[in-house]
Structure 1
Amino acid sequence: MKLSTKGRYGLRALIDLAKYSGQEPVSITSISDRQGISERYLEQLMAMLKKAGLVKSIRGAGGGYVLAKELEEISVGDVLRALEGSLEPVECSGLNPEEGCKAADSCVTKYVWQRINESINHTVDEMKLDQLVEESRKMGCQDFPGQTGCKN
């Protein structure tokens, strides 16, 4: 499984939003400045996150984005699925009887794909946004949580 920039940048943007929103909305411009992600791309990502119910937009002067849920309620899996779709590295019709895989009865590899899928989903669903914000603060990565070895 390889994540696209949508998943990687979207998660960074959401961590930034979580760190800086508090009681005020955070503008796309401020996230863009801190994260080094283009405003246009961030707008697309935020639209996807809004559609998934993870962020809300506030219009007008002083507007921007806020989280739609509490930090501890948003998992990495929620974010990645909103931006990437399914996280399954292999689509196996043998795991879904209604898809009619001809080899499903004799195929052992479907159990491999099932275990991999379950492991990925368990891992990303277990990690919550509040944990990532805390890790970012411990590392001293106030502005660039995606950079290696930052000590801002």
Structure 2
Amino acid sequence: MLRLSKLTDYAAVILVRLGRRGELTTATTLAQETGIPEPTVAKLLKGLAAGKLVESYRGARGGYRLAEELDHISVARVIRIVDGPICVTACCDGRECNHGETCGLSGQWDMVNQAICRTLEGITLADMAKPGGLSLEAQDSAPNDKVRTKDMLVSG
């Protein structure tokens, strides 16, 4: 099963919340508003700040805010910042496989991985934040015609 981590899901929720608020917001407030435990929110905000998705401000009036608008932040970028490279198999990111000589698929997963990456690059957090999910326009803007259906983009 291909599944995103809970931390990536939480990061998207936090980023969308920050985008909707449009003002400095503390980790405590984000935790209260999202139901995500505060230590998890704080950890994610630190990583999102390091990844330049949020800006952090210290002090009594400090907090966090988006560094960019939601329509400039792709789902792929969030995944890479939180979880690292997007790879469907261990061999797709250039690492060697123990079964490379016998599997017969050496390098073939790259095509699948690239299609997934293109699709995730074509979906922004603004698309995800729309009531009712992805619009038909967002689905149609996915770069690869073979990977556009909502069923393939969203997995429960």
What is the TM-score when the length of structure 1 is the normalising length?
0.74
Query: Aligned-pair distance for 1:118?
Result: 0.9
Determine if the alignment matches structure 1 residue 124 to structure 2 residue 120.
yes
- 1:47, 1:67 → 2: CA distance? 13
- 2:69, 2:31 → 1: CA distance? 23
The sequence identity of aligned pairs, in percent, is: 31
- 1:78, 1:100 → 2: CA distance? 25
The letter of the residue matching 1:53 is K
- 1:103, 1:35 → 2: CA distance? 43
Query: Aligned-pair distance for 1:106?
Result: 8.5
Check 1:79–1:104 CA distance in 2 against 1; reply closer, same or farther (3 A cut): same
Q: Count how many residue pairs are aligned between Structure 1 and Structure 2.
A: 131
In structure 1, the gaps of 5 or more residues are: 140-152
In structure 2, the gaps of 5 or more residues are: 133-156
Query: Aligned-pair distance for 1:62?
Result: 2.7
What whole-Å deviation, never above 9, does each CA across 1:61-81 have from its counterpart, x for those lacking one? 332111112222211111111
- 2:6, 2:33 → 1: CA distance? 17
Check 1:34–1:118 CA distance in 2 against 1; reply closer, same or farther (3 A cut): same
SS in structure 2 at match of 1:3: coil
Query: Aligned-pair distance for 1:100?
Result: 6.6
Asked if the contact 2:19–2:69 (Cα under 8 Å) also holds between the matched residues in 1, the reply is no
What is the TM-score when the length of structure 2 is the normalising length?
0.72
RMSD: 2.4
The letter of the residue matching 1:128 is T
What residue number does 2:6 align with? 5
- 1:33, 1:40 → 2: CA distance? 12
